[in-house]
Copies of this chain bind each other. A is one copy, B any other.
Amino acid sequence: MDFESLAKQYQKELLDKVIPFWEKNSKDEPFGGYFTCLDRQGKVFDTDKFVWLQARQVWMFSSLYNRVEQKPEWLEMAEHGARFLMEHGHDGQLNWYFSLNRVGKPLVQPYNIFSDCFATMAFGQLYQATGNDKYAAIAKQTFMNILARENNPKGQYDKLVPDTRPLKGFSLPMILCNLSLEIEHLLDSDLVSQTIDEAIYEVMEVFYQPESGLILENVTPEGHFSDSFEGRLLNPGHAIEAMWFIMDLAERKKDEKLMQKAVKIVLDTLNYGWDQKFGGIFYFLDVKGHPTQQLEWDQKLWWVHIETLISLIKGYQHTGSKECLQWFEKVHDYTWSHFADPENDEWFGYLNRRGEVLLPLKGGKWKGCFHVPRGLYQVWQTLEKLK
């Protein structure tokens, strides 16, 4: 494999096609923040602003500024979104809304703790870019709110009756693996270590099921399997994405065993989640093979494939696993031939099982300036180390 030309391919796609797409199409000059509902050509088709995606774009441009090049226009793009988020994104107590209308009036209450997670990432990264203490304070306070809400993330909006079938979800410990490194520079080192160790334990010991070699999306508070729709649910992309967060932590901790285990989970999940008939990775599966509640279970989503590329190339980088490299080639081919748009910039997000475009959008309620550019950056940087 020609790592040098591959690195170029990822770099060029990021810097010449994907980032320019968002620079050109997403900035809402009069009202602030970003448009994310963009059609195939980049035209705005809806003006609602989703806090996940506003914050992720602030993070992305700050991160490019910090890691690739200190371009003033990247920093300005990040601060443009940050101003909108500071003014409109939260309820005054740094509880972050889920969505806002174009001018910033809140549409959906702060029921979703991941809005807070992405706000933390955004302001943590922007603080690194600027040294502005205001940003540090927002990131830190929001992070503390997340830890306080951790055991009851939805609060009053939780429709589950508390005691009948208590379950905990994989998403929060998974994201804490990434978040704790993202804002390490803002936290007391004991809190960082403690958060990391707890998150690694949850992901690798509690949600990971050694019998199947797979990670479950929901388990009982004691970490057991629940034979219910929620308990049987697998989200292969989620599990695989978490593994590159774990690899980053294993690298930092110089924990070879943890690294090997993360690589094994990537490969086991991929073997299980790959669609043998049409290629690509399924969105949802039931661990007992029953029908899922998710009607979109067989669709092929951009982030699933891009996050898998990151985990595979990092797995190869750290362990030299040939299986990682073979899979990387296969997933790379699928991803570039199905998600990249030969006619326009940025990538498609939603394909049907056969790999045909299901929704011709480049951005929407859940797809913004995040997984494609972050993935291109991560793979590019890893390939640079391999060449």
Q: What is the 8 Å Cβ interface bit string for chain A, positions 95-123, against chain B (1 contact, 0 not)? A: 00110010001111101000000000000
CB pair A157–B160 under 8 Å, yes or no, is no
* CB neighbors of B among A26-74 (8 A): 37, 39, 45-46, 48
Residues of B contacting A359 with CB < 8 Å? 291-292, 295, 297
A293 to B358, CA, bound (A): 11
Residues of B contacting A157 with CB < 8 Å? 157, 159
A32 to chain B, nearest CB (A): 16
A235 to chain B, nearest CB (A): 14
Looking at A161, A350, A353, A360, the one whose CB has the most chain B CB atoms below 10 A away is A161
Kindly report which residue of chain B lies nearest to residue A100, judged by CB atoms: B164
Q: List 20 A-B contacts (CB under 8 A).
A: A39-B291, A45-B288, A48-B229, A105-B164, A106-B164, A107-B160, A108-B161, A109-B160, A109-B161, A111-B159, A291-B359, A292-B359, A295-B295, A295-B296, A295-B299, A295-B350, A295-B358, A295-B359, A296-B296, A352-B353
Interface size class of A (residues with CB under 8 A): 35 or more
Which of these, B37, B108, B290, contacts A160 with CB under 8 Å? B108
A275 in contact (CB, < 8 A): no
CB pair B161–A107 under 8 Å, yes or no, is yes
Kindly report which residue of chain B lies nearest to residue A363, judged by CB atoms: B291
A293 to B299, CA, bound (A): 14
A151 in contact (CB, < 8 A): no
Residues of B contacting A97 with CB < 8 Å? 161
A173 in contact (CB, < 8 A): no
